[in-house]
Structure 1
Amino acid sequence: MKEEIKQNGRTVLSSTDGFSMPMFFNNLCGKNFSGEKYRDYIRDIALGEMGFMPGEISLYRDGKQVRTGIIPKL
């Protein structure tokens, strides 16, 4: 099973391990972090290292969209 996180139709992250993409997706949408930790994660990791931009993201499983979320503009 291939899982991907896409933004603007482009795959930014993908994996076949079955657990890392949902975890990253939750991190990006603020479900695993909040407050200052979330802001720092978005600024330093998501925008700074992973290549995401503020805006809508989607989680895909085997080519089918299963969830959507938002990366906030800081």
Structure 2
Amino acid sequence: MKEEIKQNGRTVLSGTDGFSIPMFFNNLCGKNFSGTEYQEYIRNIALGEMGFKLGEIALYRDGKQVGIGTIPEL
């Protein structure tokens, strides 16, 4: 099973282990942590290293959208 996180129609992250991509998606949407830790994660990891931008993201599993979220302005 292929999972992807897309932004603006472009795949930014993908994987097939069934765990990592949903975890990253939840991290990006603020479901796994919040506050200062979340803000630092967004600034340094999501925007700085992973190549995401602020705005809407979508989680896909085998080509079908299964989730939608937002990377908010900090």
Match of 1:59 in 2: 59
- The gaps in structure 1 that reach 5 residues or longer are none
> How many angstroms apart in 2 are the aligned matches of 1:52 and 1:33?
18
Is 1:33 the counterpart of 2:36? The answer is no
What is the aligned length?
Answer: 74
- The alignment yields a C-alpha RMSD, in angstroms, of 0.4
Post-superposition Cα deviations, 1:10-55, rounded to whole Å, max 9, x if no partner, equal 0000000110000000000000010000000000000000000000
TM-score, scaled relative to structure 2: 0.99
TM-score, scaled relative to structure 1: 0.99
- The gaps in structure 2 that reach 5 residues or longer are none
> How many angstroms apart in 1 are the aligned matches of 2:13 and 2:31?
18
Identity %: 81
> How many angstroms apart in 1 are the aligned matches of 2:43 and 2:29?
13
Q: Secondary structure at the match of 2:68?
A: strand
Moved over 2 A (4+): none
Q: Secondary structure at the match of 1:14?
A: strand
